[in-house]
Amino acid sequence: MKSVLKSDLDNPPQLREFGLQFQKRLNLLCCLACGICLTSRTGISHVKFHLRGLKLRVKKSHLIKICEELGVHNVYPSITDLSGTEALSGLKLYTKALLCPEDHCNAIFASGGAMRHHYRHTHGGKVPDQWTVVPAQKLDKNRNVQYFRVQPPPPAPEPTLNSSWLDDLEADIARINEGYKKEEER
């Protein structure tokens, strides 16, 4: 489900201890496990969310410094700017999102129920029984965050490439979890 372009996703060593990646096109942090992007402001609370239950101190000032070095933005870009761009690596890709047919609306939803609700409350009148299907992404899983339309991603990469990337990712996650466990045991 996740976009696997990888070329716009960086894995700088400074971010490894936080389990985060760097989305180069957006200059945002990325949590691959959740398929979302994070700003320099929301990054630390997200890392804490993953570590909840573990008695582990997260170095907030350390992450802030890294964000400054990498030039991570402190706000999300506007949806209007993102609309129509190539699919972004690290974000979940919704291949069958629904586009509102009304002129200048551009609202996109992942389910028919949400789209019908939008249409009824925003436009009124007879609700269409068919929608245009488009590929879309959103920056966060938060319900208030809007979907934006993206260009269909290129054909899936060679299985070997894909699996090696996933292997790397799994190894990374295992290593990070191992690190946390060790911290905890101390």
Q: Between residues 123 and 157, which has the closer beta carbon with respect to Zn ion?
A: 123
Helix, strand or coil, per DSSP, at residue 54: coil
Find out whether 106 and 83 touch, Cβ atoms under 8 Å. yes
CB closer to Zn ion, 52 vs 55:
52
Contact in structure between 147 and 137 (CB atoms under 8 Å): yes
Q: What is the dihedral of CA 82, 87, 91, 96, to 10 degrees?
A: 100
* Measured CA distances, 126 to 44, 113, 130, 166 (Å): 45, 15, 12, 46
The DSSP secondary-structure symbol of 101 reads: -
Q: CB 139 → Zn ion: shortest distance, Å?
A: 13
Ranges of beta strands (E only) in 42-119 are 85-86, 94-99, 108-109
In the complex, least distance from residue 33 CB atom to Zn ion, rounded to whole angstroms: 5
For residues 51 and 107, which CB has a smaller minimum distance to Zn ion in the complex?
A: 107
Least Cβ distance, residue 4 to Zn ion (angstroms): 18
161 vs 174, beta carbon nearer Zn ion: 174
Rounded least distance, CB 142 to Zn ion, Å:
12
Q: Which is nearer to Zn ion, 6 or 92 (CB)?
A: 92
Q: How far is the CB of 52 from Zn ion (least distance, A)?
A: 12
**Is the Cβ–Cβ distance between 90 and 6 less than 8 Å?**
no
Binding interface with Zn ion (CB under 5 A): 31, 33-34, 100, 102, 105, 107, 122
